[in-house]
Amino acid sequence: MATRAHQVEDAQVLEAEGVARRHGTGLFIPADYRTEQKMNSSTADNAVQWLFLDLNAFFASCEQQENPALRGQPVIVVQTPTDSAVAIAASYAAKGFGIKTGTLVKDARRLCPAVIPVQANHRLYTEYHDRTLKAVDTCLPVEKVCSIDEMACRLLGPSGRCRLRGNLR
């Protein structure tokens, strides 16, 4: 892909391992979007106000937490244990083989013959969701629950004051 000079001027090239491997070249990040230039320079006028938590591979991680033998293994969570089912979650190890949410079990087995399909246990995921909310809420008030594995915490209250709780160590 040809890039014009004005598109990369004032941009940084990132050679992230996964990005470079999948796309062959670096990822251009315009200077306005680079967070390292803005970190630790917040003032009262431009302070970061929200913390958004998105727990990646949540269902697969819950299964691995419950069954230590699954830890580090390529795990996919499925509704039914059939080859025509799709993965509703994939562990980090499974993602390393190119398996992702929506991948058919038969395709996952082709990508990784050692993949371990686990039948979904939504009661378990709800329990972990509740435990996670309680744990986060001991440090920072959870303002909004966006989904079973996503939540938003307001870092500053209406007065512009920090809203941390006292349990941080």
pLDDT by residue (tens digit) across 17-39?
A: 433 333 444 445 555 545 554 55
Higher pLDDT, 1 or 62: 62
- Indicate the pTM of the whole model: 0.67
Active-site positions?
150
Higher pLDDT, 65 or 161: 65
The pLDDT value given to residue 154: 85
The pLDDT value given to residue 50: 86
In the chain, the domains with their CATH numbers are: 5-37 (no CATH), 58-120 (3.40.1170.60)
Beta bridge partners of 145: 151
The pLDDT value given to residue 166: 61
DSSP output for 60-77:
HHHHHHH-GGGTTS-EEE
Q: What is the largest CA-CA distance in the chain?
A: 55
Q: Give φ, ψ of 41 to 5 degrees.
A: -125, 20
The Cα 30–Cα 150 span in angstroms is 27
DSSP output for 113-158:
TT-EEEE--HHHHHHHHHHHHHHHHTTS---EEEETTEEEEESB-T
